[in-house]
Structure 1
Amino acid sequence: MAYEILTPVEMGKADKLTIAAGPYDGYGLMLNAGSAIAHRLLADDGDASAFHVLCGPGNNGGDGYVVARLLAESGASVHVWSYGKPAAQTDAAMALQDCPVQPRPIAEFQPTPGSVIVDALFGAGLNKAVTGEAAEAIGRANVAAARRVAVDIPSGLDGLTGLPLGPVFHAGRTITFFRKKPGHLLYPGRTLCGELVVADIGIRKDVLAAIKPRCFENTPHQWCERLPAPEANTHKYKRGHVAVFSGGATATGAARLSALAAARAGAGAVTVLSPGEALAVNAAHLISIMLARCDHNQDLQTFVETRKASAFVLGPGFGIGERARTFALALLGYQPAQLVFDADAITSFEKHPDVLFHAAGSTAEIRLVLTPHEGEFKRLFPDIAGSETGSKLERARKAAARAHAIIIYKGADTVIASPDGRAAINTNGTPLLATAGSGDVLAGLVASLMAQGMPPFEAACAAVFIHAAAARSLGFGLIAEDLPAVTAIVLGDLMDDWQQEKSARNEGVAP
């Protein structure tokens, strides 16, 4: 499975590298693209009363002219509507010359019921709003009683950010080439693209070595080999010790959710660090998870020195203010524990973000994972969040670099970003996770995987994927308490699948 995500600029480089290496020239790639689209249209929409192909002046329009020719040659009823003429001696001009269907002005375009509208107006490189007759045609297409298919990316959608530049073609299906782009996966682009199909047009995978992409779709193949499978000679502390800070007597549930998730994800030992006022409440609800009193920094220091926890979770239900900041900064001073700051730990630094960032950046090693949702992100990175340009992907990368931390920028299109520029866009998310406590579970999962030795970026990516997969498995009506046990099943299945695939490779059998 291909999981690299290419920006429009990187995709242009992939085209150029392929053309330079042969055997395809630019027109050859255009022919391949048009052929892939036409075959898919005939397979899925062969019952359409007619095909309306909207063609722009660039390479996207050239793909459309190839599609129109092939559909006409198959015997389909085809109408071509042009917006602008391709420049002379370009690949698009050659495609227009070879197309037997006479184009008509796009101003005359009127979709017919039961037809298929093929959007080949503008590709992913578009950087301004669609206006005039093209915008009006998009408007007519969007309200038509017809199926809508976009070539590469819906016209009017920014291929880098997933944001509309103005009027946007609303596709039921988008057929793109070689690799997905950020705009396909970031909202609202993901919705505007509809079903996403990636077609093979002859671009070889080895061009990626020259491009060196830094963005990926969050799939198990990215991190499965790093999952911490228990060894035969292991013991509970070798499997990692996670400590989770509890809030006061009336706010203990969030910490217990994190702790239970950490245990279910394989940590050999989990301790809830509780203020004295909440010891009795926590003790009444904990069985396999340990409990320790922690009211002050001295209590924390004693715990660190005697119990050797390998990861900490601070924030769920903890409370906002000076106490959270004090514990957070103390943790950042302890080596080499891995840290997850969530919820209240993030908001506590709303007016003091530089203090947190300075402490996190005091060592070269990345040990901190921050898990903000949109509101928390705005509190910690107000200038980045308020920027009118750039995508969620870019915002996450800037935040990670500034904070010297892994950022899990939560939402329907969760982005995981590292200070080194690596980033992953999660695509298996579900609105089922929009329930109280689900974020606490995620924080515990991340900490558990890091405590067991998984690198922070990979641990964050794996936890986000596993968290969503568990929610999908549970279905409607899930509550946060359901998630830890099912994440254990998902994690175990992933480990088994990876071991089987590795064994198949060792034996020379295709997995």
Structure 2
Amino acid sequence: MDELLTPDEMARADAAAIASGIPGLVLMEAAGAAVARAVRRRFRPARVLVLAGPGNNGGDGWVAARLLEGAGWPVAVAPLAPPRPGSDAARAAARWRGPVVPFSAAEAARAGLVVDAVFGAGLSKLVEGLAAEVLSGLAAPVVAVDVPSGVDGATGAVRGVAAQAALTVTFFRRKPGHLLFPGRGLCGEVVLADIGLPGSVLPAIAPRAWRNGPGLWRLPRPGVEAHKYARGHVAVAAGPGLTGAARLVAAGARRAGAGLLTIAAPDAATAAVLRAGEPGVMVGEDAAALLADPRVGTWVVGPGLPPDSATSALLRAAIGAGRRVVADAGALRAAAGDPAALRGAAMLTPHAGEFEAVFGPAGQDRPAAARCAAAATGAVVLLKGADSIVAAPDGRLAINDNAPPWLATGGTGDVLAGIAAGLLAQGVPPFEAACAAAWLHGAAAHRAGPGLVAEDLAARLPELLATWWID
């Protein structure tokens, strides 16, 4: 159930189900029943106003109104416009025998609960005029059908205005807009309902996006004969005098399972500071020698490094030596306006500002921007944020939604780069390594709890990894 369908893909799923012999009205009845059921489970009876648009989303609302009214709730329907004659929505509306009231702010103000069935996930225009006036002024709790009206189901962007929902009921599979901000913040609780669409329609659609989670990747599990060399050797480039970032990367990589970890110090003074740190971390002062050693197969370049020509040269040298390279922070800034400089890296881990510096503004369609960046560089792109996006050069995409807000503190991104590198070193492919790292990063933060600082994250990884490593 982790596939994410764009509105166009969802329309194809509906069409395939109907072509297989499932009447569209049957699907609409099931969707409306799911909305009514969710309302009854989560709210006490109240005066309900169903705001119904002219399309299938509105049809779902007409069905929900009929079923709630049949359960004894006081319900009225306010149609924005009548359904198209002969459509499933028109047939659903014809079964309604209750009150029909004007689509107006005054009617909405009288409601104790509003069912928003105006526009669906595939909205392609701005919400404006009367619809915008009513939706922007809602004061009662809102239950959205599929998505809050005005939210683009493909990107999470708001087209004009959108009401804040307490609950969103969607069907068959989630849309990217349920996980991507700002749409995610407007959905409230999301209920995914089964309405009888068969999973057999998915192979023909071939979805290329998923909600990130353990079902999407497999973590390496050492065999009984494993040794440290078999689990990979990670090198981290440290900045001059800026040792904290490299040490956080090292902690993440080691806790993720890398067998060996060496920090490449730029000078003797920095090396001395690093050698006073964790005893299991090796420190070297000759990056060229490390690059020449084929056993040091994975490099993290960027955290704590200045965005200068020396950083660019080290990045190119690591890529040129055929190493698996995670490029972050200073390495990304050093490639500002020049995505070609990152070609050959295994993974890029930018936050929004670093992404914009290299590739330009992501805009409202962040999945498309991340996919383009991955295709341009040949690297997996982990675009970090509250709704991190992982994009592969072949078009695969995952959205990570388990990051708590207390992850927004300095150094946590360094730990994330280290986790990803530790997994790469053990042979996890880049897309799966980025997805697993993002999820483990969020899960570790949840276990650490509010008040987290970056140093807390790596220490939480063993208890998570025990789920996979210990029978």
Q: Tell me the residue number matched to 2:285.
A: 293
Query: How many residues end up aligned between the 2 structures?
Result: 470
In terms of mean alpha carbon deviation, does 147-156 or 128-137 score higher? 128-137
Q: Tell me the residue number matched to 2:259.
A: 268
Residue 74 of structure 1 aligns to which amino acid in structure 2? A
Q: Tell me the residue number matched to 1:322.
A: 309
1:91 aligns with one of 88, 93, 114: 88
Distance 1:188 1:318 in 2: 32
2:271 aligns with one of 262, 279, 300: 279
Q: Tell me the residue number matched to 1:183.
A: 177
Cα shift at 1:462: 0.2
Q: Tell me the residue number matched to 1:10.
A: 9
Distance 1:189 1:260 in 2: 34
1:18-417 equivalence runs, <5 A: 18-22=17-21, 24-45=22-43, 47-107=44-104, 109-112=106-109, 115-141=112-138, 144=139, 146-223=140-217, 226-248=218-240, 250-277=241-268, 278-294=270-286, 299-300=287-288, 302-306=289-293, 308-335=295-322, 337-357=323-343, 360=344, 368-382=346-360, 385=361, 387=363, 390-417=364-391
Change (3 A) 1:474 1:220: same
In terms of mean alpha carbon deviation, does 271-280 or 2-11 score higher? 271-280
C-alpha distance after superposition, 1:131-153 (max 9, x if no partner): 22222221232xx2x21100011
Q: Tell me the residue number matched to 1:502.
A: none
Percent identity for Structure 1 against Structure 2: 46
C-alpha distance after superposition, 1:181-232 (max 9, x if no partner): 0111110000111111111000111111111000000011110xx2111111
Cα shift at 1:355: 3.1
In the alignment, is the contact (CA less than 8 A) between 1:114 and 1:147 conserved in 2?
Answer: no
Any stretches of 5+ residues in structure 2 without a counterpart?
A: none
C-alpha distance after superposition, 1:457-487 (max 9, x if no partner): 0000000000111011111111111111112
Residue 173 of structure 2 aligns to which amino acid in structure 1? R
In the alignment, is the contact (CA less than 8 A) between 2:390 and 2:434 conserved in 1?
Answer: yes
Cα shift at 1:488: 2.5
Distance 1:114 1:121 in 2: 16
In terms of mean alpha carbon deviation, does 471-480 or 128-137 score higher? 128-137
1:442-457 equivalence runs, <5 A: 442-457=416-431
Residue 196 of structure 2 aligns to which amino acid in structure 1? G
Other structure's SS at 1:149 match:
strand
Change (3 A) 1:90 1:352: closer
Residue 17 of structure 1 aligns to which amino acid in structure 2? A
Distance 1:150 1:432 in 2: 28
Distance 2:202 2:390 in 1: 21
Residue 34 of structure 1 aligns to which amino acid in structure 2? G
Distance 2:266 2:255 in 1: 24
In the alignment, is the contact (CA less than 8 A) between 2:147 and 2:187 conserved in 1?
Answer: yes
Distance 2:262 2:220 in 1: 20
Any stretches of 5+ residues in structure 1 without a counterpart?
A: 361-366, 500-511
Residue 353 of structure 2 aligns to which amino acid in structure 1? G
In the alignment, is the contact (CA less than 8 A) between 2:400 and 2:439 conserved in 1?
Answer: yes
Cα shift at 1:169: 1.9
In terms of mean alpha carbon deviation, does 174-183 or 48-57 score higher? 48-57
In the alignment, is the contact (CA less than 8 A) between 1:81 and 1:109 conserved in 2?
Answer: no
C-alpha distance after superposition, 1:36-94 (max 9, x if no partner): 1111111222x232111111111111111111111111111111111111111100110
Q: TM-score, normalised by structure 2?
A: 0.97
C-alpha distance after superposition, 1:337-363 (max 9, x if no partner): 211011011101115433333xx2xxx
In the alignment, is the contact (CA less than 8 A) between 2:116 and 2:142 conserved in 1?
Answer: yes
Change (3 A) 1:352 1:135: closer
Q: CA RMSD in A?
A: 1.5
Q: Tell me the residue number matched to 2:448.
A: 474
1:418 aligns with one of 392, 407, 423: 392
Distance 1:166 1:352 in 2: 34
Change (3 A) 1:279 1:402: same
Distance 1:109 1:21 in 2: 44
Other structure's SS at 1:174 match:
strand
Other structure's SS at 2:137 match:
helix
In the alignment, is the contact (CA less than 8 A) between 2:264 and 2:284 conserved in 1?
Answer: yes
Cα shift at 1:108: 6.4
In the alignment, is the contact (CA less than 8 A) between 1:129 and 1:165 conserved in 2?
Answer: yes
